[in-house]
Structures are given as C-alpha cells and as structure tokens.
Amino acid sequence: MVFHETDILRAFDEGEFFPVFQPLVELRTGQLSGFEVLARWNHKIFGAIAPEDFIPWIEESGLIDRLSRTILESAFAAPVLIDSPLTLAVNISPRQLLGEKLPERIAALAAKSGFPLDRLIIEITESALLDDLARAQSAAREVKELRCKLALDDFGTGYSSLRHLHALPFDELKIDRSFVSSMAAQRESRKIVASVVGLGQGLGLTTVAEGVETQEQASMLTWLGCDLGQGWFHGYPVPASELHCVISAFQNESRVAVPGPMDGDSFVSLDVLPAQRLAQLQAIYDGAPVGLCMLDRNMRYVSLNRRLSQMNGVALSAHLGKTVAEVIPRIFPMVEPYIRRALQGESITGVEVQKPHAADGSESQTLLLSYQPARDEAGEILGVSVAIMDVTSSKRTERALRESENHYRHMMQLNPHVPWVLDSNGEVTEASPRWESFTGQTVEEALGNGWLKALHPDDVEPTLEAIRISLKTGQPIDVEYRVRRPGGEWNWMRSRGSPRFGPTGRVVCIYGVVEGVHEQKQMTEELQNSHAELRTALSAVPVGMVLADAQDCSIYMVNPEADRIFRGAIYPGQKLTDYSKMNFFWADGHMLQAEDFPLSRTMLRGETVDARHVRYNDSDGMQMDLEISSKPIYADDGALIGGLMMIRELIAPDQAMAFVRSARADALQGHR
C-alpha cells in the first residue's frame, strides 16, 4: 500500500491519527504498571491501517515528528492518566533521537497537559545507535535530564551489542516478541529469553516481554524472573475513551501473579535478581543438614553439597562428571531403579536404604532418600534432584521407643492396679489385662465405651460427668463406682486420673489407674458404725468425757455432760495448746500449768492421772469444783493413739447441807 504526502497531510488535518494504549502488567503481582502508547490511522477510505504499513511512509515524508507530537499530545491529555501512578511508554524513531530539540518538544507537550515526565518511558531501537553513537549518547542524556526513563526496544533482533547497553543509560530492556512467541515450543528461544532476563536484571534494568499471548508464556516469563509483560494475554490496545474501564477492571478484579510452572512443588523466589537468587540457593544448598545433589540424564553428578560429599566419603571434586555407579559402586544397585523412575518423571520419596557395613566395623548407616525429576521451563526433564538424610540416629531412637513401649505394656500387665488411658473423646484406648480379673470383661470388650457395661447403672452417669469435667477443665479425676464381679456381686472401685495437655492447652488424653476399694469401704462403714455406737454410749454416761487424738493432739469427741460442764469451751477440733490455757486452778488456788493439766500429761507422756480436785472458772466468772482424771488409749500393737479425760462435778459442803435441808423440808411437807 502506497501513501502520498498529500494524503498523509490530509489525514493529519482531519484527525485520522490517534493513540491507543496497551497495558503493561507486573508479572509477579498481576497488577497494572502502565501503558505503551501506539499510533493508529483510521483512514476515511481504507479504514484501520496497521502501523507497519504507514510508519515507513510517514518517516520518508519527514512527518514523523508531527505524528509523534499528535500522538503524545493526545496521550498526555488523557485525564485518567495525569493523576495516576501509571507510566506511559512511547516509541521514538532513530531519526527523531538523532534530530534536534527532541527533549524540548517532549517537555513542552508534557507541560501543556501537566503530565509528569518521571512517568514517561522513551523507547528506542538499536538501529538508532548505529549511525552516530556519540549523538545518541548526548540525546539520551538530555532525555534523562527531563527525568524520563529510557528503554532499549526489540533487544536481540540483529543489532544487539553489549557495548550499546554499556554506552547509554538505559532503564528498561524489552525482549522482542519473536522470542516470546516461540519460547513455549523452542528450547533455544527459552534460553535466549532467560539470558536476556538474566542480563537485564544483572545490569539493574527492568525487563519487559513483548507479545505475551498465552498463559503458558506468561508463566514461563514469571518463573524466569521477567518484570513486566505486554501483549494480548494482558490486554488489547484501547483508545483513550476506554482507559477508565481498563484501569477500573485491574483495580476491581482479584488479580494474582501468574503461576510459574513449578509453583507448589519447588522453591521459587522472585524477590531478588537471578545472581542473588543463585547465591541464596547456593547458601541453602551448602548449609542444608541433608545430602543434596543434581544428576543429569546419564546419572552423572552435576552438582552436590558438602554434606553429601561427607556422607559418601568422597571429595567434592571427585564427584563432578562421574556417574553414581563410579562414585558409590556398593550402593548404586540399591538406588539405580529409583533414579531411572525419576528420569521417567516419577517423584519418589521416603526410600529407606541400609548402607553396607564399613570396613572399620562401625555401625551400619540407614539412609532416607528422595528423588525428584528436574525440569526446565517447558517441563522437559533435565535430570534428577536427590536428597539424602542420615536417619541412623532416628532409627536407633525408634528402636528404643519400641523397647520402652514393650516395657510399659509389660508393667501394665504386672501392675496390681488397672492402668488405663482415655483419649480426648473420653474413650478407653488402653487398659491393663487385670481389668478382666476384676470384672470378667476382656480388655478388647472394655475399649471405647465398652467398660461402662461393667458399671452399676446408678454409677454410669456420675462417672461420665467426672470424665467430661476433666476433659473440659483439666481437673484430675477421682471417682468411685461399683463393678460387677464375675460371681455377680457388686464391688466398689476407685478410679483416679490426670490429664495430659497438648500444645494449645487442650486435654489430649487422661492417664489413670483403677483400684479395688471394696474392703476399705466396708472397713470405713464399720468404723463409722462403731463411732456412732461409741458416741451413743458416751452420751448416756452421767460423767463428762472428752476423747483426744494422739496424732495431732486435738479433741475429736465431747459427750453431752462434758459439754454442759464446760458450756462449749471444749469442742471437737480444739488443740491441746488451746484447752490447756483455760482457767483451771488447784484446790489451794494456784493455776494449773499446761504441762500439769491431766490430759496434757496423758497425751504428751502417756501417763494415767488419777482423779484430782480442780476448780474451773468459766468465761462468765462462774466457779465450779471438778474432779478430773485421764488415761491413755493404746492400739493392739501398744502405740499411743489417744487419751480419755473424765470430768465429774463436785458439790461444795454448804451446797450439800442446803440440799439436805431442802429435801427434809419437802419430806415433812408431804407427810403433813
């Protein structure tokens, strides 16, 4: 298609040239970074004309500056872009770069609309650098003085030179679409793209991939560490009137970074440059406590860490380039099948291998091996990644734990009590076989909630409630219940347990024991009955009686007559030191000392104290004469277990004479 200058000038006059905006997207985050501004011609006769068809004619007509001015003026004037952080990238032809007053014209157009130049990216091709590199350097510096960024476009398409990258202050490096479009199918293209990305990032340049049309391409670029993507996959070029919709869509949609081909299965970090990432991986590689290596498709060592070198007992340098069979011939037959399966694409983990005994007779090692296929960006298998862990110590510990468990189970069987374990649901998971001797129910029948069948129906719910409380609050269990003996009678058992807590503080299980307490319960009942009989007998005696316990020298029983005499001053639970300080006096008026008090002598020295006449002053000042005696109480084995104090109230002579007179008067009155 041929265009004459008159037709092009008419198109300018009638406004047929206009800009479109293609999104530039951050590959790592999926967020909108900016737009590249592209020129379009909507011819009144031919309709839409592709840039590659009309740009050469405009350049030849010498109207390229007018086209750039028209496109930039419209782009800068887009209101939605002026106050946003988004960048604009524009192409400048070699003729414009090497011409006069390019920076002034750009600055004037930006000032007219108020567009900030620090968000403008000037893209140039390498062809602009060939004719006059010195002039290109000068123009580039002038552009940079405006705070614009500079990008090298279509890198790698015939004129690429590291000299150009070094000579000009570029900020961005754009990967040509021809390499991006073929990278999924051609390994050579993938390697070129990877090299360009690595070169750009190594020089501190932002890398931009052109012509991204599929998710597969975007995924590979992301995995390789490319910064920005541009192409139909991320968005078609749109006119200025549609910019608001595009920006809103990126802001409102939940966009995520395009996944790399190995995400979820491998370590990937895109927060650093490739050289830094390599250093990080090397540090991890060398610092790992496990043996690591990479094998190629011929099972040769490509790389390995020091730990594996130590495990194999072979120097690092002696591994590289050698096959596994050459380095560890005794172990190779054991691992060869797994390596071959990994080379076919299978991931293999948890392979346990017992190394043959060393010549020095040391303990044989147990190794745990994993094999993972190593793939390139397109998923082709390059070799096998191997991880080897020495689990000899763990296996030794595992054997010790098994032995401990066997010892524990043996102890459970011999324990006179019945050990048990409840899980977090309150169900029995373990119990001693002795349970069967108590109940006739086997351990298998008792597991879960089966043991409840052996309990008396009235005791089931209280027992379950005690378990629920323990699981909820962490309190110990202490509960008694009846179980049916094999003969049919009900016997009392006592079950005690302590909870075990998990990392979150919740009860994960309860450990406890069951013991027979039937005889103790019977003895307790008999003792309570005897105690009641004793209390009844003492209550009927017309003499005051006080019983004390030798264990803690405290009163444990006071009969009614003694309570009447002392009017509550002596009571159960009272200590010897308290009642020995009461107001007791000898007949001659001297106060009794604590050690002379009859019950004190009995309890402290085991003496029998015959009846002694003492005078007692109560808290109200009332005096009474008492006769007090005491004697020790011994167990069958002769041990002192308590003391008995007897109190009888004495009547004074004048009171006795008054009583006789009163009785005689009553008798005479009755006779009359």
Contact in structure between 260 and 217 (CB atoms under 8 Å): no
**C-alpha distances out from residue 106 to 85, 114, 139, Å:** 19, 12, 12
Contact in structure between 19 and 242 (CB atoms under 8 Å): no
**215-224 and 187-202 are packed helices; what angle lies between their axes, rounded to 10 degrees?**
40
58: Cβ–Cβ under 8 A, 6 or more apart, which residues? 8, 64, 67
The DSSP code for 344 is T
CATH 3.10.20.30 assigned to domain 542-655? The reply is no
Sequence-distant contacts of 16-19: CB under 8 A, at least 24 apart: 16/41, 16/42, 16/43, 16/44, 17/41, 17/67, 17/70, 17/71, 18/42, 18/70, 18/71, 18/74, 18/239, 18/240, 19/71, 19/72, 19/74, 19/75, 19/239, 19/240
C-alpha closest to that of 306 among 317, 318, 316: 316
- Tokens (6 digits) for 512: 């406890």
C-alpha closest to that of 76 among 19, 15, 151: 19
504: Cβ–Cβ under 8 A, 6 or more apart, which residues? none
Residue type, 533: E
Query: Domain 288-356+364-390 belongs to what topology?
Result: Beta-Lactamase (3.30.450)
668: Cβ–Cβ under 8 A, 6 or more apart, which residues? none
Residue type, 197: V
pLDDT given at position 269: 41
Handedness of CA 650, 655, 657, 663 (dihedral sign): negative
Q: Which uninterrupted H or E stretch holds 295?
A: strand 291-296
pTM, two decimal places: 0.47
Distance of alpha carbon 227 from alpha carbon 217, whole angstroms: 13
Backbone angles phi, psi at 284, to 5 degrees: -65, -45
Distance of alpha carbon 198 from alpha carbon 376, whole angstroms: 16
**C-alpha distances out from residue 566 to 505, 554, 577, 621, 629, Å:** 56, 17, 17, 12, 15
Which segments of the chain have a pLDDT < 70?
A: 127-131, 156-164, 254-282, 284-286, 357-363, 377-378, 397-416, 524, 527, 530-531, 579-582, 652-672
- Residue whose entry in the numeric block shows the structure tokens 């007779």: 361
Given this chain, do its domains 412-516 and 542-655 carry the same CATH topology?
yes
**C-alpha distances out from residue 218 to 226, 264, 648, Å:** 9, 17, 110
pLDDT given at position 468: 94
Q: Domain segments of the chain: what residues?
A: 288-356+364-390, 412-516, 542-655
- Tokens (6 digits) for 352: 């346990």
Contact in structure between 190 and 197 (CB atoms under 8 Å): no
pLDDT given at position 579: 58
Torsion on CA atoms 423, 428, 432, 433, rounded to nearest 10: -150
Handedness of CA 60, 61, 66, 71 (dihedral sign): negative
pLDDT given at position 524: 67
- Per the rule left: phi > 0, alpha: psi between -120 and 50, beta: everything else, 565 is alpha
Give how far the C-alpha of residue 110 lies from the chain's centroid of Cα atoms, to the nearest Å.
53
Q: Which uninterrupted H or E stretch holds 546?
A: strand 544-549
C-alpha closest to that of 183 among 201, 169, 197: 197
Residue type, 431: A
Distance of alpha carbon 205 from alpha carbon 191, whole angstroms: 19
- Tokens (6 digits) for 432: 């001693």
The DSSP code for 365 is P
Contact in structure between 152 and 170 (CB atoms under 8 Å): yes
Q: How many Cβ atoms from other residues are within 10 Å of residue 102's Cβ?
A: 18
CATH 3.40.50.300 assigned to domain 412-516? The reply is no
Q: Active-site residue numbers?
A: 210
CA triple 46-49-55, angle to 5 deg: 130
Q: Is 450 exposed, middle or buried (0-12, 13-18, 19+ CB in 10 A)?
A: middle
